[in-house]
Amino acid sequence: MISNWRYDRLPCGATLDKYSQLLNLSVSDLIQIYIPESWEDHHSFVIRTDEMEFQQRVLDPGVIKRLYHEYRSSLRSDVVILATDVSKNASGVAIAAVNCSLPTELQGSIPAVNSVFTAKIIAEALNKCKSLELVYSPTHVGIRENEWADSVARDALVSPRIYDFVSPEDAISACSKIIRLTQTEEWAKSKYCNEYTWLEEFNYKKISFSRSSEVLIFRFLSRSLPLNTILYKCHLIDSPDCAVCQTPETWEHFVLTCPQFENTIDSLRSNLGCIPLSLDWISDFSFCGRLKCRAICAFLVSSGRF
């Protein structure tokens, strides 16, 4: 499953090589991600999203517009303002770039998989200019450059396609939606659909955890949490046995049978549906992954061991 947590930590190519046929694209159609070894070589490339006064959404629109004009008047006379925007509807996506100094316009449609698309424009601009500063405009308040680019982008929805590239993030998101829709349709045709109504919709949204909870879950899946059997192998304790049961403290024993954690195990079983538990089933996040993540995290924290 492309939206499984395992794939979130893999390069996009490793994920989409198998699923790219869903979007009728090849991996070569993806925008290549380049991470420089040192940002010192890119000191002329600046992104400003919220550090300027006019970028605060809480301000009155009239105040934002006035502060922007103050910022605009502080720029050197040789600075070129490039205003960019994107527009999206049910049938496609379009981009626009406006050189407000000449003036000239660039507009065109792009593959509908994309949600936003400025990377190609930025990449070309970096090859032609000495420095580039991206400045975010938080809202439509009548700023000339912003409204100009917005208007051009809306008109571009009916323009010919100018680029075939797709952003990796949008490709992954689109694949996930296609797979989820297919699974939901197949489940609706199943004879079990009416019996197991709690499985009526496949929902594989990414789960957000705190860093500490995420570490607990990943160490559980990799069986690297410090149980006595592991500590004994590392010569950190004298015995691999459970202090209560005097049997080896394996993961099966700790999660499924140890009377020391009887109440915690009962709570885990209740959270997972009061079914017979197995360690392999609990660790398989392709089924009820969201529920299992939360139940495992609660179990590990409640045990007081980690």
37 shares its domain with 132: yes
Residue 247 CB coordination number (10 Å): 12
Query: 294 is written with which tokens?
Result: 């939360």
Instruction: Report the pLDDT value the prediction gives residue 95, as an integer from 0 to 100.
Output: 86
Instruction: Report the pLDDT value the prediction gives residue 26, as an integer from 0 to 100.
Output: 74
Q: Are 240 and 229 in contact (CB under 8 A)?
A: yes
Cα–chain center distance at 15: 13
Interacting residues of 252 by C-beta distance below 8 A, sequence separation 6+: 279
144 shares its domain with 233: no
What CATH number does the domain containing 139 carry? 3.30.420
Q: Measuring CA to CA, which residue among 237, 216, 205, 166 is closest to residue 19? A: 166
Would residue 13 count as lying in a domain? Answer: no
Q: Are 48 and 135 in contact (CB under 8 A)?
A: yes
Distance CA 137, CA 64 (A): 9
Instruction: Report the pLDDT value the prediction gives residue 53, as an integer from 0 to 100.
Output: 87
Instruction: Report the pLDDT value the prediction gives residue 3, as an integer from 0 to 100.
Output: 37
**Hunting for tokens 């930590």 — which residue is that?**
9
111 shares its domain with 47: yes
158 shares its domain with 265: no
Exposed / middle / buried, residue 92 (Cβ in 10 Å: 0-12, 13-18, 19+):
middle
**132: which strand partners?**
45
Instruction: Report the pLDDT value the prediction gives residue 8, as an integer from 0 to 100.
Output: 44
Instruction: Report the pLDDT value the prediction gives residue 11, as an integer from 0 to 100.
Output: 43
50 shares its domain with 125: yes
Distance CA 100, CA 258 (A): 71
Residue 147 CB coordination number (10 Å): 15
pTM, 2 dp: 0.50
Would residue 15 count as lying in a domain? Answer: no
In terms of residue numbers, what domain contains 241? Answer: 197-303
DSSP state of 140: -
Distance CA 226, CA 11 (A): 30
Report whether the peptide linkage leading into residue 103 is cis, meaning its omega lies within 30 degrees of zero. yes
139 shares its domain with 231: no
228 shares its domain with 141: no
107 shares its domain with 217: no
What domain count does the chain have?
A: 2
Question: Please, what are the averages of pLDDT over each run of 10 residues along the chain (306 residues)?
Answer: 38 55 74 60 70 84 90 88 85 86 85 69 65 78 88 86 76 76 80 67 58 79 82 83 87 85 81 72 74 83 81
211-221 helix and 289-303 helix, angle to the nearest 10 degrees = 100
Exposed / middle / buried, residue 201 (Cβ in 10 Å: 0-12, 13-18, 19+):
exposed
Instruction: Report the pLDDT value the prediction gives residue 259, as an integer from 0 to 100.
Output: 85
Instruction: Report the pLDDT value the prediction gives residue 9, as an integer from 0 to 100.
Output: 40
